[in-house]
Amino acid sequence: MQKVNKLLKMKKTVLLTLFVAISMAANAQFEGSKQVFESPNLKTEITKHKIVAILPFNTRISYKKQPKNFSAEANKEQEKALSTSIQSSMYTFLLRKASNYTVEFQDVEKTNILLKKAGVFDKLGETTKDEIAKILGVDAVIGGQFETEQSRSEAGAIATTVLFGGIGSKTGTGALTLVINEGEKGNLLWRFYKSMDDNVLSSSDVLVERMMRKVSRNFPYTK
């Protein structure tokens, strides 16, 4: 009887160890590597900032294996939708925790309208950050880039998981970069980079939530 009990205890221990190992591995799949850069002038510069704008993200969607009936035009439209979707999610997150920050964040609808009126909404890559800050009337701008390579073959995978909030499983890999540039000269003050290895496209809200959870300790505007 004692031998049976010992065997059962050993079996439970092995199973528990295996479960913990699998859980840690699954969690690590999303976490990936992280890099943070801070300018030597960061602390002195951010004390001057009162209003900060969040720009549409630069996005790129690619596939390891191109889906059947792939449409380059449709893929481009998905990238554009994802660009403003992440921007909106970022604004919502920061607005929700507004009391935690030393600055105000410009409404993204106002940001996009001003960019469109100035004719630079689709030309942000050709416009300097100080020019953008002047157009928006802000002290600094937050920009970013999100790239994902999808392993799924379904053509509608991106639209379903990102735009409509469905939870994906093993959708592919991705990398997200977040930067802050001051508005006077456009100098880079802060850069955050995070790579992700799995479930990168559950929804833009979840993507931002997970990223900001990692950023929070390093985010310059946190009180």
Give tens-digit pLDDT for 137-173: 999 999 999 888 877 544 444 444 444 444 344 456 7
pLDDT at 71: 85
Q: What is the CA radius of gyration of the chain?
A: 21
Q: Taking the model in full, what pTM does it have? A: 0.75
**What is the rounded CA–CA span in Å between residue 171 and residue 64?**
11
Residue 221: alpha-carbon gap to chain centroid: 17
Name the pLDDT band for 91 (thresholds 50, 70, 90).
very high
Average pLDDT, the chain: 79
Q: Distance (Å, rounded) from C-alpha 36 to C-alpha 1?
A: 57
Residue 40 has pLDDT above 90, yes or no: yes
Distance from C-alpha of 146 to C-alpha of 156, rounded to nearest angstrom: 19
- CA dihedral for 110, 115, 117, 122, sign (positive or negative): negative
